[in-house]
Amino acid sequence: MVDPQVMREQFTQIEGKREFLVKLLEQPNLGTLRIDVNQAIEEVDDLIDEFKRTFPGNATEN
């Protein structure tokens, strides 16, 4: 079984990676990678939503 504190820390890291992707999306020279970055943001958003639904007491607040 995963320690709840470890799970919260990993979740916080995932949220931080989302912020990195958002900043990356602001770069003007992405070209066709913009599609991949958008897709990655959508998938991270889905993961965050699913985590918050599954473990509502363990989710961090944005």
pTM equals 0.77
The tally of domains found in the chain comes to 1
Using the predicted structure, report yes or no on whether residue 62 has a pLDDT greater than 50: no
pLDDT of residue 49: 93
Report if residue 42 sits inside a domain.
Answer: yes
Contact 4, 59 (CB under 8 A): no
How many percent of the chain have pLDDT more than 70? 92
Please give the distance of CA 53 from its chain centroid, rounded to a whole number: 15
pLDDT of residue 5: 83
Contact 37, 26 (CB under 8 A): no
Q: Domain range holding 51?
A: 12-55
Report if residue 16 sits inside a domain.
Answer: yes
Report if residue 6 sits inside a domain.
Answer: no
pLDDT of residue 42: 97
CA distance linking residue 51 with residue 39, whole number of Å: 18
Report if residue 4 sits inside a domain.
Answer: no
Report if residue 30 sits inside a domain.
Answer: yes
Report if residue 5 sits inside a domain.
Answer: no
pLDDT one-digit tens code per residue, 18-43: 999 999 999 999 999 999 999 999 99
